[in-house]
Structures are given as C-alpha cells and as structure tokens.
Amino acid sequence: MWGIAHVRVGRRPAGFTLMALWGLLVAGAATIAVGIPAGFSRTLAPIAVERVWLNGITLGILVLAFVWSTVVIRSYQLVRPDELPTVARLLSGTLVLVLVVGVCAPMVYAANATYVLRNTLQDIFPGDDRSGPGIDAADPWQNLPRVNILLLGGDGGKSRTGIRTDSMTVASIDTKTGDTVLISLPRALQRFQMPPRLRSRWPNGYTGDPGDQGLLNELYIMGERHPGLTPGYRAGRRGPQLLKEVIGYLVGLKIHYYVLVNLAGFKDIVNAIGGVRVHVEKRLPAMPTTTSAAWIGRSA
C-alpha cells in the first residue's frame, strides 16, 4: 500500500494522501471487475474503439507505472537505515529493483496491448473521407432499426495475386440494443442467382469468366477485373461493392458497410485482444512440397 513508509517516518500528510490515492485505484479496479459481468461492459464498449480514449489509456497506464515505481523507490529511501553493510545494501537494492519490475512489467504489457489495439483499429478503419452525405454523430442510426455489415476475410498478401474472400459473414446489428445476428455464407456456394441487374450476363446463375468455377469467393476478383459491373467505383472498391450487392440480394438484406481483412490483419486483430496461445503436444511430420501444395489446394 502506498504511503505506509511515509507514515512510518512521520510524514503523515503525504502518507495519508498516497493511501487515499491507492484506495481510489483499488476501488476503481474492483468496480470495473465487478461491473463488467453485470453489464457494465456496454458502457465501456465505446471506449474500446475510440482512438482518442485508447491514446489516453495508454498514456495513463505509463504514467501510473512511473508513479508507482517512484513510490516504491522513495519508500525504500525513507525507511532505509543510514548505515547498512554492503551485502545488505545490495540485497535490499535488488529487492527494490524486483518490486519495480514487478509493478512495471504488467503495466507496460497492458500499455503495449492498448497501443496495438489502437493501431489495428486505425489501419482497418482509417476514417471517413468526408464524401457523401453528412452523419449525425448524436444519432447516426436515426430511423435505421438495424445496420448490416459484411465481414470479409481475404487471402490477399505480398506474395499472392488477387483476393479471394474465403470468409463472408453478414453481421446484422440492432441499433438500439446492439444485439447481433451473424449470417455466414459458404465460400464454395456455386451457380447462385444474381441480382436482376446482373442477370443479363449470368441468366442461369453465376458462372464467372470462362475457366472459373463460379464460386462466391471469386466475386471480389470478378468485380475488380470488370469495372463495368460496378460503375462509379474505383479499383479496390469495385470488388467489395459487388460482394455487398450480391450477398445482400442472397440474404435479403441491404448491406450498409463492409470490413475486409487479410491474414496479416487477422493476426493483428487477434494480437489486439490478447492473442491466442496454441499448445502443440508433439512435433508434426513435414510433408513433401508437392503433397503439401495439393492438400492446400483441396482445402482451399
């Protein structure tokens, strides 16, 4: 507890002030810990996606680590006897160092995790380009009972050509309560009906270009390859727009927004929420390159 050393040496005003601050920290942490399972998380949820809040939290954690370390070191200086044998001085100094590291390590880890979350959100949601109609920030979902977001997982990367959206899920969110329904579509959905606007090109269901399999996960590349399918959209936006239109037609919903991440982005998202630890019980035998490639081809 902060302040005990100060009270011990007679510095009571400073000691009791530090105790009060420590008590507030403990009470705040206990309130959050008890409140989250009780539904307090709805209040905290907006904070977790606001970059300004995340910047403030990161800075606050680092300041708290500095203050706590300073209290530990100053407390040691106040109660340390004037004359200590060399061995005792080394041992006590080492103990103080261990305490400082013990205090700082989890806080630095928490600050880094918050910083990673902030950067991940900034990379995935770079912000509005200010085009289109304005948004009422006080009531962005006015007269809109549900907002539908298309969540896309693509296989794009530096060493790959094109993007296949192997994961396609519609998140339909109640704008009043936040309750969400997830509708997942299989990537291998084949020869599905297209919206009326596109049936002149594919009257008997989607077949893609000659040589394609006509799968749902090919639509992104199809949209990017043929600008005429989504007139008015630039490269990089044509594929998602075509997916929004076709998937919205298939599930009977208007898709308002989309989010697209590749494997690297998915890794960042997992790291931002604390990571996933995988325990591998035994070494896996390596497969020959040809077999591995054939297996990946079948699984894809």
Does 106 share its domain with 157? no
Q: Could you tell me if 99 and 175 lie in one domain?
A: no
Q: Which stretch of 31-40, 121-130, 156-165, 181-190 has the lowest confidence by average pLDDT?
A: 121-130
The pLDDT assigned to 147 comes to: 94
d(CA 242, CA 221): 10
Please tell me which of 74-83, 102-111, 131-140 the model is most confident about, judged by mean pLDDT.
102-111
Residue 282 lies in a domain: no
pLDDT: which is higher, 292 or 221: 221
- What secondary structure letter does DSSP report for 255? -
Look at the block and give the residue holding tokens 């990379």.
123
> Is 86 or 170 the better-scoring residue by pLDDT?
170
- List the domain range (segments joined by +) for residue 213: 146-261
At residue 46, does pLDDT exceed 80? Answer: no
Hunting for tokens 């992104």 — which residue is that? 220
State the CATH number of the domain containing residue 256.
3.40.630.190
Q: Do 9 and 120 fall within a single domain?
A: yes
Span 1-13, average pLDDT: 89
pLDDT of residue 287: 64
What integer is the mean pLDDT of 180-199?
Answer: 94
What does the pLDDT average to over 50-72? 89
pLDDT of residue 157: 73
φ, ψ dihedrals at 180, nearest 5°: -130, 140
Strand 257-261 versus strand 146-154 pairing type: parallel
The count of structural domains within the chain is 2
Number of Cβ within a 10 Å radius of residue 166: 17
* The two three-digit tokens of residue 216, written as one number: 């749902």
Q: Which of 46-55, 59-68, 112-121, 242-251 has the lowest mean pLDDT?
A: 46-55
pLDDT in tens, 222-234: 999 999 999 988 8
Are 117 and 8 members of one domain? yes
Q: Which of 197, 191, 200 is nearest to 219 (CA)?
A: 191
Q: pLDDT band for position 81 (50/70/90)?
A: confident
81 lies in the same domain as 170 = no
How large is the average pLDDT for residues 141-149?
Answer: 89
Neighbour tally for 130: CB within 10 Å: 6
- Least confident stretch, 74-88, 164-178, 276-290: 276-290
Instruction: List pLDDT tens digits, range 243-283.
Output: 999 999 999 999 999 999 888 888 888 887 788 888 888 88
Same domain flag for 116 and 175: no
The token pair at 84 is 């200590």
Instruction: For residues 113 and 173, state if they share a domain.
Output: no
Tell me what pLDDT residue 50 has: 78
pLDDT for residue 299 is more than 60: no
Residue 135 lies in a domain: no
- Segment 13-31 shows an average pLDDT of 89
For residues 11 and 115, membership in a common domain is answered with yes
pLDDT the model gives residue 127: 58
Same domain (yes/no): 10, 117: yes
Q: Same domain, yes or no, for 99 and 39?
A: yes
